[in-house]
Amino acid sequence: MQTHFSPERLADPKLQSLEKILRSCVHCGFCTATCPTYVIGGDERDSPRGRIYLIKDLLETGRAPKAEDVAPIDHCLSCYSCMTTCPSGVDYRRLVDASRVLIEKRYRRGFADRLLRATLAWTLTSPARFRFALWLAKIGRPFKRLIAELPGVGRQMAAMLELAPVAGRVEAGDKRRSTPPATKRPRVALLAGCVQQVLAPEINAATARVLERLGYEVVRPKGETCCGSMLLHLGREEAAHKQMSANVEALSHEIEAEGLEAILITASGCGSTLKDYGAQLADDSAYAAKAQRVAALAKDPSEFFAALDLKFLNPQKLVVAYHAACSLQHAQQITEAPKALLRRAGFQVRTPAEEHLCCGSAGTYNILQSETAEALKARKLKNLERLKPDVIAAGNIGCLTHLATGATVPVAHMVELLDWAMGGPKPGSLAKR
């Protein structure tokens, strides 16, 4: 792609880097075939190629974004399917992140939209605040239809209520640090996450049981905070980097104290961000080296367990429809390990048509862009349930929560199924059936 940056603008090192990415695009359009928003809408502006042209113009001119510029960027799921497809290796992730930061700084959204985004940023990055928000959601849920009719962000507020659990208790999560074993064992840090530890603490509990059977000491790092993904996708780069730095500090303390074999993150959306810490904090002299070290140790459970000798005492024969979370298959490029592990555990694993397409969850996307998210969810569930599964498995809490609102079969995290096959408890979603 030809660019026309002025020498003055290219004096900025960040713009220099982004210009190189723009130049790597060859306009081939392969990305349009795998972009969820283009596939369902057919609008070139809602394709990676269209957005790249838009981002190029914003960066070259330095002009303030207009409403017609903001909409296509807001419509992007950051699923990164385009990056998997791209033959030229365009780092679209950097471009869309930069455009969101630019929009957050230079575009004035409507009051209701600003309030909603601020509420999401404040609530979803804190387990305590999120727990309180779910309590409020139980009160508001009966009025969901009325709320959806409110002007401004009524539809988005109704989408939030739809995602809140209908019944059952909201867990406080496990804040305990492991008791040091009598004999020295290899140590693995297990991050709790923000939303997951409230909605589904059983996922990390299952992961800890698998690790302990394998002889690992499970460490919950003191001082862990939000991974920064949520704020980064809302364009709040500075606040996101503060969270990343705090996590790097907490994890570096564990590495330097007694060492870590790996850092496991059971929510693949968070995991993809943690693996990107080195790039995100590359310009921070205080944290760049530490961030690289943390990123190198970050692993998805499927990635970590794939090379280990798991003993399955209770092999299961259920049919599993495996949903590949975008943050796992596209951002982390992990595709076969989860399916291979489930097959080793005895499950009959089936993969759906259009496996590469996003389910529509994508962090806060299923709230902020609820209509598109619902269309993608319906498409994904149709493909998954066509396989006639006993359970739908995935590796990301966002996907699991989103799909559960429409699925006719149970949904479970892949690690819960592995734990069950190793002699652990039956996953709660399956136990109810």
- Quote the longest CA-to-CA distance of the chain: 65
Separation CA 138–CA 406 (nearest Å): 19
CATH of the domain at 95: 1.10.1060.10
Query: Residues 345, 10: contact at Cβ < 8 Å?
Result: no
Over residues 91-113, the pLDDT tens digits come to 999 999 999 999 999 999 999 99
The phi, psi pair for 264, rounded to 5°, reads -100, 140
Residue 340 lies in a domain: yes
Q: Quick one: 115 and 214 in the same domain?
A: no
Cα torsion at 21, 25, 31, 35 (round to 10°)? Answer: 40
Over residues 26-77, the pLDDT tens digits come to 989 899 999 999 999 999 999 999 999 999 999 999 999 999 999 999 999 9
Which has the closest alpha carbon to 190: 263, 273, 295?
263
Separation CA 292–CA 278 (nearest Å): 4
String of DSSP letters for 221-242: -TT----SHHHHHTT-HHHHHH
Task: Pick the last residue of a domain from 106, 140, 175.
Answer: 106
Task: Pick the last residue of a domain from 106, 140, 172.
Answer: 106
**Collapsed DSSP state (helix, strand, coil) of residue 219:** strand
Considering the chain, what is the average pLDDT of its residues? 91
User: Does pTM surpass 0.85?
Assistant: yes
Residue 74 lies in a domain: yes
CA distances for 102 relative to 11, 162, 366, angstroms: 18, 31, 22
The phi, psi pair for 235, rounded to 5°, reads 85, 5
Q: Quick one: 93 and 116 in the same domain?
A: no
CATH of the domain at 291: 3.40.50
Over residues 301-326, the pLDDT tens digits come to 999 999 999 999 888 889 999 999 99
Task: Supply the range of the domain harboring residue 15.
Answer: 9-106
Separation CA 351–CA 320 (nearest Å): 8
Task: Pick the last residue of a domain from 91, 106, 121.
Answer: 106
